[in-house]
Structure 1
Amino acid sequence: MNQLFPQSGIGIEFRNGNFHGVYCKSFWKNFREIDRMEIRDYQRLGPRECGRLYREFLRRQGLKSPWTVVALARSQVLLRALRFPRGMEQELARAVEYQLDALHPFEEGSVAWSHAIWALSDGAKAGASGGNGGRTQSSETQVLVAIAQKQYIEELADWFREAEIPVSQFSVTTTLLLGYLEAGIAAQLRTGKPYFLLHATEQGMELLGCAAEKGLVSREIPLTAEAPPEADEIVALIGKELDSAHSEMRLVSDDRPRVHCCGEGWLPESAAESAHLPFHAVPVVAGASLNREDIAGVAAAYAASHRRGPLSLNLLPAERRSFQPRLAYAPTYALSGLLVVLAMAMGLRGSVQDWIYSRYLERERQALLPGIQELEKLHSANQDTLAHLASLEAFRRSGGLPLDLLDELTRTLPADAWLQQLQYEGNTVTMSGTATSASAVLQAVSSSIYLEAAQFSSALNRTPEGKEVFRIGARLRAQIP
């Protein structure tokens, strides 16, 4: 599959108790590995420490949340093949779900599953996943169904969530390898010969076989590292499963069929040169090791950078998937740049308009300047006249009114009252002094024709002679009769 735009992705696999991550990029027909990481004994370190180391790896690559595919061990996933009549591509999901309970030994509703079409076109091409895959020349469509227990999927998803590692896809190693080796498989089938892939892991081996219009077969060979069989026994088991695969696909047995090998080193490197084996062992990639162990991680990274590639199974629930492409904010940035340009244009437009308008106002001001200067002179003269009149009025009020008020107070205050101070500020009058009866003084002030609202402004005191010391505040009447 050719990529029109550069795509990047990360593949993750757990192998030999270690965490492996592979970062790859693809563009057009090129696919290359950029970097990789390994966390040894990841279970001892715990999810948080693994997450910290993984995020450092992402930061070094300038990534935040790329499409990330986790390769699930074949031992944890059941892989079943179903056949349906052609033309059912749009109804495959419902058809598979109808038969799902018969495909696994677990309780109903306790599994997660995903399906993809395995199709061969013109006897040479492996089809894409889902209803968008290629169609065969036969009347049937073969569908691969991956089934895993929900508990296993949820526990693994929880581990990634606790580690704060964003993941996008859980897929089984088998289908990842088939997608990664699609071109090699197509090239082999064009020769008219079947394609066999032997993938070895810690738990054993899996033999995959496919042929034009014959579909896909999978045979498992369980092995244990605690009690590893002899090399002759392994070869005999592989030869037996090869015969079974030929029989299942109804092929004529080949004397020494080519078997593409990868994974754990169950077979010695010398097997590639041996002519005594019942098969011809070759590496999956020309020039690579016969026991290339990192093939699953690279295949997962390939699937991450070819998200619509063949057999793109995904067992991770949709709500747990995380992905943020590098160009996710490109439309936002483009729109922001456009807004900035428009804002600059609008700002420049306003400045030009303001400059033109200011020139117009300046011309009008110069035309009106003689009249304005004449009005300013008249206004200044009026202000001087008003200030002079105000001064005369203040002088009149401040000079005449206190004398009249004093004259009235002299006539109305009790004979024994003595004013010590009289303050006159604006329309407020404050007087203080002594008298035998301060109340009589307050009554006299209240009856004044010049004052109103008379009241004591402080507490009364007594002199040693027994007279009352008062302080009275009053307000000038607005209209004096």
Structure 2
Amino acid sequence: MAVERIEAPAPASPPVRTPASGFRKWLAFGSGLGVEISSNELRVTAVRVRPGAIRHLDSIVLPGYTDRPAADWGAELSAFARRSGLAGLPVHVLLPRGEVIVRTLALPGVEDRDLASAISYQVDGLHPFPEDGAAFAWARLPGSVFVLVGIARRETVDHYSNLFAEAGVKVAGFTFSAAALWSASRIVSAAPRPYLALHEENDTVEAIGESEARPIYSAVFENGASALARRTSFAELRLDDAAPVLDFSSLLPPLDPPAPYPLAAAAAIAGACPRLSLSANLLPEDRRAQSSRLAYIPSGILVLANVAAAGLMLSQPAYHDRRYLALLNREIQAVEKQAARAARLDQETRQARDRIALLGRYRQRSKADADALRDVTNLLAPPAWLNSLQISRTDVYLTGETEQAAALLQMIDGSPLFKESQFSQSLTRVGSGEQFVIRTVREGPGVGLEQGENR
């Protein structure tokens, strides 16, 4: 049967995209064959990816694959791969969206090594299939806590796997539209985020989008409900009315020339650069075909040689820094004991100085007490006289009699050794005089309490 060749239409106003930068840009290197399984046809796209550019080699449609012998359309697909210069390259197959359940899980705090166990624990609640009747694949969205999960009936995966094996076509993996478009949109440029993309085919509308609220969104609407798909998707993504509504072709990086089948092209681009793509592969590992790595041996050797040379150049400053640090550590250890002894001597000197100062203050106390007694005697001249005199380190209490006690407070405060004099008790009239009790605060050298000393 003749192969139907389709020319790609010109893209309509693609969104502005930011080119990839850094080391990721140079990892965008490879070739891929993508196969989209439609209702009764296979759409195949071949691409070649290079840093900064993606070449669309060719695209074909294999109609009626369900009604034809598998070997028939398998031979056509192999011939197409040879014409595209990709003979023997395994294909990446995109399963029909209606046969895959797509879910997004938020797993904060779960390490990569524990993801498989965490997802296996939850996956039974994400699908209606019988126990052990589901095949699932997952991939963490880079730099986030979200995991994209695709689930299909195991018998569906086995059916397509056997079908391609019967056709003699090597298959690298089965994936689904959300994973393929998410990966392909980021190979050589950044995705236009936030966005909503709609794709209508055979009375079915598929919606895919990204926003701050939903890192990835995928849904299918039956009966051509494009208006419902738009309203529901905008609500799920929490987008405003100004957010762009794209087609699937606008999510792909620029292709030269444009590809007619965006889903097949997305599978091919993602398959060409598996290290830059989400590894959501529903095909059992023992059935996956691997392409030959012999072609990359010369490039690998060259890369290793360059890395080794760069490593030697970068390690020289680090080596000298380590030697200098080791020399400094030896010098520090040599003077460390001397520094400790000097610190100990400093501490002992401070303690001796404090003790000397304390002894000096104690010697001043006797003179201060004698001076206080002398001033009290001079201030309270006859006919005033004292019954009691109490001298503490901070206060002096005077108990006695005089003709006019009120004048005593100002007289006592006039001394440089006393301040804040006041009557501790009310004055009492005794005969022709007044009985008083005066408290005054001491000041000057030799007074006050030492730390920890009681009054």
TM range, smaller chain: 0.5 to 0.7
Alignment partner, residue 231 of structure 2: 240
CA distance, structure 1, for counterparts of residue 164 and residue 215 of structure 2: 35
Q: Distance in 2 between matches of 1:29 and 1:111?
A: 39
Could you say which residue in structure 2 is the equivalent of 1:96?
119
Q: Which residue of 2 aligns with 1:478?
A: none
Q: Aligned to 2:59, what secondary structure does the other structure show?
A: strand
1:316 has 2:283 as partner: yes
What are structure 1's unaligned runs of at least 5 residues?
A: 119-126, 128-134, 224-228, 264-282, 335-481
Match of 2:156 in 1: 152
Alignment of 1:162 onto 2:166: yes
Give the distance between the partners of 1:300 and 1:199, measured in 2 at CA: 16
- Whether 1:74 aligns to 2:133 is no
Identity fraction in percent: 28
Q: How far does the alpha carbon of each residue in 1:138-187 deviate from its partner, in whole angstroms, 9 at most, with x for none?
A: xxx11111111110000100001111100101000121112112379945
SS at match of 1:85: coil
**Counterpart contact for 1:13–1:70, Cα < 8 Å:** yes
State the shift of 1:309 in Å: 2.3
Quote the residue 1:172 is aligned against.
176
Please tell me the residue identity of whatever aligns with 1:164.
G
Structure 2: gaps spanning 5 or more residues: 1-23, 302-455
Secondary structure of 1:42's counterpart equals coil
1:297 to 264, 275, 280: 264
- Can you list the C-alpha shifts for 1:188-234, whole angstroms capped at 9, x where unaligned? 33xxxx221223333611222322364323332112xxxxx5xxxx4
Answer with 1 or 2: which has the greater Rg: 1
Q: SS of the residue aligned with 2:88?
A: coil
State the Cα distance separating 1:39 from its structure 2 match: 1.7
| Pairwise CA distance, 1:90 | 1.7
Tell me, yes or no, if structure 1 residue 188 matches structure 2 residue 179: no
SS of structure 2 residue aligned to 1:188:
coil
Q: 1:209 to 1:4 in 2, by over 3 A?
A: closer
1:362 aligned residue: none
Task: Decide whether aligned partners of structure 1 residues 90 and 329 sit closer, same or farther in structure 2, where only a CA change above 3 A counts.
Answer: closer
Distance 1:188 1:14, change over 3 A: closer
Letter in 1 for 2:240: D
Matched, 1:257 2:243: yes
Whole-angstrom CA distance in 2 between matches of 1:254 and 1:185: 24
How far did 1:31 drift?
Answer: 1.2
For 1:79 and 1:302, the matched residues in 2 are separated by: 21
CA deviation profile, 1:228-261 (whole Å, cap 9, x unmatched): x5xxxx4531342134214xxxx4x523421112
Task: Say whether the 8 Å CA contact 2:43–2:61 is kept in structure 1.
Answer: yes
CA separation in 1, counterparts of 2:265 and 2:187?
15
Cα shift at 1:78: 0.6
Q: What is the rounded CA distance, in whole Å, between the counterparts of 1:156 and 1:42 in structure 2? A: 12
Deviating more after overlay: 42-51 vs 57-66: 57-66
Aligned length: 274
Q: Which amino acid aligns with 1:308?
A: R
1:164–1:179 Cα change, 3 Å? same
Alignment deviations for residues 54-107 of structure 1 (CA, whole Å, 9 cap, x no partner) = 222233344442142001111010111111113522210110001111111111
Deviation at 1:33, TM superposition (A): 1.0
Q: Distance in 1 between matches of 2:296 and 2:278?
A: 29
State TM-score, norm by structure 2. Answer: 0.55
In structure 2, the partner of 1:202 is 202
The answer on whether the counterparts of 2:33 and 2:267 sit within 8 Å (CA) in structure 1 is yes
Deviation of 1:287 after TM superposition, in Å, equals 9.3
Q: Secondary structure at the match of 2:55?
A: strand
Q: Which residue of 1 aligns with 2:348?
A: none
Q: 2:43 aligns with which of 20, 29, 50?
A: 20
RMSD of the TM alignment (CA)?
2.9
Amino acid at match of 1:35: D
Instruction: Describe the shift of the 1:55–1:107 C-alpha distance in structure 2 as closer, same or farther (beyond 3 A).
Output: same
- 8 A contact 1:153–1:315 mirrored in 2: yes
Amino acid at match of 2:198: L
